[in-house]
Chains A and B, each alone.
Chain A
Amino acid sequence: MQTREEELKGLGADFTFGFIQVMDGEKDPRNLLVAFRIVHDLISRDYSLGPFVEELFEVTSCYFPIDFTPPPNDPHGIQREDLILSLRAVLASTPRFAEFLLPLLIEKVDSEILSAKLDSLQTLNACCAGYGQKELKDFLPSLWSSIRREVFQTASERVEAEGLAALHSLTACLSRSVLRADAEDLLDSFLSNILQDCRHHLCEPDMKLVWPSAKLLQAAAGASARAYDHITSNVLPLLLEQFHKHSQSNQRRTILEMILGFLKLQQKWSYEDKDQRPLSGFKDQLCSLVFMALTDPSTQLQLVGIRTLTVLGAQPDLLSSGDLELAVGHLYRLSFLEEDSQSCRVAALEASGTLATLYPVAFSSYLVPKLAEELHIGESDLTRGDGPTKCSRHLCCMQALSAVSTHPSIVKETLPLLLQHLWQVNKGNMVAQSSEVIAVCQSLQQVAEKCQQDLESCWYFHQTAIPCLLALAVQASMPEKEPSVLRKVLLEDDVLAAMVSVIGTATTHLSPELAAQSVACIVPLFLDGNVSFLPENSFPSRFQPFQDGPSGQRRLVALLMAFVCSLPRNVEIPQLNQLMRELLELSCCQSCPFSSTAAAKCFAGLLNKHPAGQQLDEFLQLAGDKMEAGLGSGPYRSQAFTLLLWVTKALVLRYHPLSSCLTARLMGLLSDPELGPAAADGFSLLMSDCTDVLTRAGHAEVRIMFRQRFFTDNVPTLVQGFHAAPQDVKPNYLKGLSHVLNRLPKPVLLPELPTLLSLLLEALSCPDSVVQLSTLSCLQPLLLEAPQVMSLHVDTLVTKFLNLSSSPSMAVRIAALQCMHALTRLPTPVLLPYKPQVIRALAKPLDDKKRLVRKEAVSARGEWFLLGSPGS
């Protein structure tokens, strides 16, 4: 057919007839696939079918619906789905089949068999792409009643979804056709039918059929602008009226949720003319309804109200400025809701963020001033005793400020407010708690995230916030005659960590030119104590974090780390050589673990990004010497170990050749009596993603397959080490191994399983609960994904899991029971011999003293009861 199309077409309908005779009675799925393709070609390439349309339909449609299960170990690999799709392509290929196909589809939808229903609805859906009103006309009432029945009564969500999809395409198909002037518009009568059957159910918001009816109407309304107008002009007034008729909150919620569904569909069509939009006429009613919902005591209703408000706001030019002022007022109130309606508060904040991008003026004139005022109340008025309430109001305020910072013009108002608040805290005008400072930083962080997309705001944020934060921190680190508690808050670990993430977020998206400007100020600040770019920079003494200054100053290296480790890779760092040496020195300084770790991380972060070459080798050489000297023996072993860990990580991530050497060093430490446990935990650090340095977002060089590679390179050695190690350090190896396996993508782990499984099973007997937990959490997904492999070990698994289900650690008991549950995925015949024993054993954890354990026991035991039992 591919090469001789002309000649075959010359045979006319005789060729088609001949083919029909050949195909008739075919049974082999391989031939059927070819035959279906030929029929499809006959139709799509316009061969003459002559009088044989019905015969051609009969010879193919007799296979519908496909019911074929490939035999096990089928060498041809033909799936049921292949046959279904190719037959569907044939049946749906031409409107000429419509008069035969549609009755067949209706008959099959009405059958009892689930797969036949699904296949028929999907085929109907496919047909609608090529059909017009003419083909559908006679069958519309039956099609509608079948679809309606399926959606109203089905027990299967898939049938419901397919029914709705079919209705959607039917309506779309009817809307598409061009009409002759005198013809009856089938769309209108079809939609009227739907409305008639569904309308009255919408008035019973407590009854089961309310949602199926709403979904049917929405499926039809979503098909075209005409269908949408027709349906909403009927349904919206009805629903608005029903909302007022029903007074209970849960009924109102159902009604409002339906309204929301219809409003969302509107976004699919764009209307040229404002007055044509079907919603304009209902705007006032909808607004007042939403505001009623927002003031209702029921949280659920409020939530739907907030969502509806967002959707209304997204309609261009719908809301007037008066509506907006009211809406903003409600959102302001909702932003200060109490603890028990958190979900509502979060939703209100999110809605504010979305709406603020659309109506920045409304938010900066109505909302931001109110929030600013609220924030000031607490700042000036210290004496009032209501500390906790004030704090939580401040918190809400700051969260609201960061939530609305979605538009550049709003950021210019909110950022100064937040920074000013931070200054106030530092000036000691109010009782400073680290939680308050952290809250400000979290808000700043959120603002920074929102600024990342917009280059201009990003630079504005960076330029405004970072000098301010650095100035505050430097100020706090200055030696004082009388140490004040207030200022030291800024130097606490958590507070610095919060600042680190603000600085990191504000730096990652800078353009290289702007970043270069910034780095030229910040590096000299730390190396030379050049404070000239900081605001309010008259400090009592010099800032020398790398010299023997006050220890507080050294802690600020964490802020330097946040900045330099987030820079784009092509930004050149001034005085790099000196910086690296200073960092290395500080990383092995014993006075303060926080600053030495920060220095090690910063060193590693820079190392990771540095281009290969002589300078990198020099740095590595220096680091290697420093570590070896430290690890040998002496006062700074643990600092040297931390440095080793971070440098290893930096190199593992970028596949540096030296990484294997360092990893081997780390593995050697597993049998070290002092550092062994720390080395085992170090594997967790190597395999996990950091948040502050060595991140992809911070432009670090992170190869995507580094975990797999680490696994392949090192696990055999780990296993060997485990077997060779003396008994008392074996747990360290198991722990290290568990960490590696835990973080590995499961598909990579599966092929390795047979070799590792015996080790994992041994790890289950390890007394260390961390190892047990990590092994269980490793085995649980494997039970789900590789039941065949696991079923070889069912005896051991059952025994060990049951043993661990009475472990003293609650987390282990829970994990063991989850594994018992996952065991039920193994082939039933393998499990049945254990069923009575397991059911008896699981009766014990049913009476565990912890509820969370009982819950897992109940679900595991329930599943074991169902094994091999009828109806499961």
Chain B
Amino acid sequence: MMGGGGVGGGLLENANPLIYERSGERPVTAGEEDEQVPDSIDAREIFDLIRSINDPEHPLTLEELNVVEQVRVQVSDPESTVAVAFTPTIPHCSMATLIGLSIKVKLLRSLPQRFKMDVHITPGTHASEHAVNKQLADKERVAAALENTHLLEVVNQCLSARS
């Protein structure tokens, strides 16, 4: 089973993390407003999907904590593939699986079905990188995790728009 982690109450693992600037809204180009021109799905579009995901323990987004970055998003629209690497704030972060799961769920809900997606930890940034990656790649475990009400609740909180 995936590790849930204690959310709310208790001490934070990393109470004073580094924070990064949020990138602004993507400016709308003339091409995007033109009915005829098709816009392909690019790295920025994928990044826009995941950058506003809330961190499970801070009132900050994954972008502000630099957990996700646009350069770590690889996408090919014609081949229908997406790869996202994320970087936990500290190497022992117990939230890593949960963050990965949130990213994965967000992409599952937001991308066309034709896409094959791969969410993994940026190589060398987490103690149990391999185990987490394996959990995230296993479709059945992801599905089972989302059957768990408590886990689904935390994931939904991460994906809810900030009030």
Contacts and interface: CB of A to CB of B under 8 A. Distances in A.
Nearest to B31: A851
A850 B154 CA distance: 32
Contacts of B60: 208
Interface size class of chain B, counting residues whose CB lies under 8 Å from the partner chain: 35 or more
B13 to A, nearest CB: 13
A822 to B, nearest CB: 14
Contacts of A616: none
A155 B60 CA distance: 9
Interface in B108-157: 109-114, 149-150, 152-157
Contacts of A786: none
A870 B153 contact: yes
A852 B156 contact: no
Contact of A153 (B15, B32, B49, B106): B15
B58 interface: yes
B38 A208 contact: no
Interface in B1-38: 9, 12, 15-21, 28, 32-33, 35, 38
A846 B45 contact: no
A810 B35 CA distance: 6
Contact of B109 (A201, A207, A849, A865): A865
B83 interface: no
Nearest to A866: B156
The interface centre, meaning the residue of A112, A250, A843, A851 with most chain B CB atoms within 10 A of its CB, is A851
Given A207-B16, A810-B35, A871 B154 contact: yes
A860 to B, nearest CB: 11
Given A861-B110, A866-B156, A870-B156, A850 B39 contact: yes
B159 interface: yes
A862 B102 CA distance: 12
A208 B112 contact: no
A872 interface: yes
A809 interface: yes
Contact of B32 (A155, A208, A851, A858): A851
A250 B39 contact: no
B156 A869 contact: yes
B113 to A, nearest CB: 6
Interface string A143-158: 0000000001111100
B152 A871 contact: yes
Contacts of A862: 106, 109-110, 159
B160 A208 contact: no
Interface in A132-178: 152-156
A707 interface: no
The interface centre, meaning the residue of B28, B152, B156 with most chain A CB atoms within 10 A of its CB, is B156
A846 B110 CA distance: 7
A108 interface: no
B59 interface: yes
B9 to A, nearest CB: 7
B32 A112 contact: no
Nearest to B106: A862
A854 interface: yes
The interface centre, meaning the residue of B41, B112, B154, B155 with most chain A CB atoms within 10 A of its CB, is B112
Nearest to A863: B161
Given A850-B38, A852-B28, A858-B49, A871 B113 contact: no
A208 B153 contact: no
Contacts of B48: 855
Nearest to A300: B21
Contacts of A112: 9
A858 B16 CA distance: 32
Contacts of A209: 15-16
A843 B154 CA distance: 24
Contacts of B20: 206
A207 B17 contact: yes
A870 to B, nearest CB: 4
A160 to B, nearest CB: 9
Nearest to A811: B35
A80 B111 CA distance: 44
The interface centre, meaning the residue of A156, A204, A843, A871 with most chain B CB atoms within 10 A of its CB, is A871
Nearest to A253: B21
Nearest to A156: B59
A847 interface: yes
A734 B21 CA distance: 48
B132 to A, nearest CB: 22
A852 B34 CA distance: 10
A193 to B, nearest CB: 20
Nearest to B157: A871
Contacts of B28: 852
Interface string A796-814: 0000000000000110000
A155 B12 CA distance: 12
Contact of A849 (B38, B49, B110, B150): B38
A152 to B, nearest CB: 8
Contacts of A207: 16-19
Contacts of A208: 15-19, 58, 60
Given A809-B35, A871-B155, A847 B160 contact: no
A250 B21 contact: yes
A854 B21 CA distance: 25
A253 to B, nearest CB: 9
Contacts of B152: 869-871
Contact of B112 (A152, A846, A850, A872): A846
Contacts of A206: 18-20
A155 B59 contact: yes
Nearest to B111: A846
The interface centre, meaning the residue of A156, A208, A865, A869 with most chain B CB atoms within 10 A of its CB, is A208
Contacts of B149: 870
B156 A871 contact: yes
Nearest to A847: B112
Nearest to A845: B112
Contact of B12 (A153, A810, A872): A153
A807 to B, nearest CB: 11
A847 B39 CA distance: 10
B120 to A, nearest CB: 22
Contacts of A153: 12, 15
Contacts of A861: 109-110
A154 to B, nearest CB: 8
B145 to A, nearest CB: 13
A842 to B, nearest CB: 10
Nearest to A206: B18
Contact of B45 (A843, A849, A851, A865): A851
A208 to B, nearest CB: 5
A854 B15 CA distance: 36
Contacts of A871: 152-157, 160
B19 to A, nearest CB: 5
The 5 closest A-B pairs by CB, nearest first: A871-B153, A871-B156, A847-B112, A870-B153, A849-B38
Given A207-B18, A872-B160, 15 more contacts: A112-B9, A156-B59, A206-B18, A208-B17, A208-B19, A208-B58, A250-B21, A809-B35, A846-B112, A849-B38, A851-B39, A861-B109, A862-B106, A862-B109, A871-B154
Interface of A: 112, 152-156, 201, 204, 206-209, 250, 809-810, 843, 846-847, 849-852, 854-855, 858, 861-862, 865-866, 869-872
17 contacts: A153-B12, A155-B58, A206-B18, A207-B18, A208-B58, A846-B110, A846-B111, A850-B32, A850-B38, A851-B41, A861-B109, A865-B109, A866-B156, A870-B149, A870-B152, A871-B154, A871-B157
